Amino acid sequence: MIFRIGHLTALWLALLVTSGTHARSVMIERADWGTHFDECQVSGTIAVLDERRADPVPMVSDRARALKRYSPASTYKIPHTLFALEAGAVRDEFEVFKWDGVPRGFPGHNQDQNLRSAMRVSAVWVYEIFAGRIGEAAARRYLKRADYGNAQAGTGIYWLEGRLEISALEQIAFLKKLYRNELPFQLAHQRLVKDLMIVEAGRNWILRAKTGWEGRFGWWVGWVEWPTGPVFFALNIDTPRRGDDLFKREAIARAVLRTLEALPADDARTCAP
């Protein structure tokens, strides 16, 4: 059943909401959001759930892509940090991990790290340490408990080079549980992970988010907290120009969030020259 109201198209369809199960739901396709991707000259999707509304419904710019699973890349640092805390692979946000002296492509990686800095600069080598300390078997158990994507852990940096995948809509489902402290992990650990995710804040709002980049595509996922409720989002785009495309993740997502008044109107990051 299709309903058209201006630029909105409400579609009844089967949404993948948990591993191996389907449920019927309503999704609103926002074709008008496609202009933000066009301005940035990239292909992608964004899924948004605005819980400030009385009857929140997922909104997407490309429903097929919003349902498609991709490697989570460094957005996996959100659950991975939670797993590391749960497994005792890291004591707290103050434990220091000594840089091994090996130069890496991002300057921020080439220094000692703690949990907060490793999340902020997306230091892969710290999370390789966590993966080794957690182990593949335990990682699979944690992924299943969290109902995260296809829950396929592996060896090495499996969140970049392995079989672990998640869709934009599944990202939102996971983030919603984290926001509500409803994941089957210690409450203190969930609260710490959310604290580490803070990117920006205003007088009455907080933006918590994480970027990710696999090389061919990139993510920006998170939520904006308002007194009236959270606005969850998950964006992924193709990055054919690689590093030159990375700023477009935030530019597009912020533009979409501004259309919903989920970020201040003076947040003017765009792809315009």
Q: What is the DSSP secondary structure assignment for residue 111, as one 8-state letter?
A: S
How far apart (Å, rounded) are the C-alpha atoms in residues 128 and 50? Answer: 34
Question: Which H helix or E strand runs over 89?
Answer: none
- Distance from the Cα of residue 16 to its chain's centroid: 17
At a CB cut-off of 8 Å and minimum separation 6, what does 100 contact? 125
How far apart (Å, rounded) are the C-alpha atoms in residues 153 and 41? Answer: 33
At a CB cut-off of 8 Å and minimum separation 6, what does 181 contact? 187, 190, 191
CA torsion through residues 71, 32, 177, 82, sign = positive
How far apart (Å, rounded) are the C-alpha atoms in residues 40 and 52? Answer: 28
Is 71 one of the catalytic residues? no
Evaluate whether 234 touches 171 at the Cβ level (below 8 Å). Answer: yes
Single out the catalytic residue among 71, 74, 117, 167.
74
Question: Which H helix or E strand runs over 15?
Answer: strand 8-18
Kindly write down the DSSP assignment for every residue of 16-55, as one continuous string.
Answer: EEETTEEEEEEEEEEGGGHHHHHHHT--EEEEEEETTSSS
233: left (phi over 0), alpha (psi -120 to 50) or beta: beta
Backbone φ, ψ for residue 33 (5° rounding): -65, -20
Catalytic residue ranges: 74
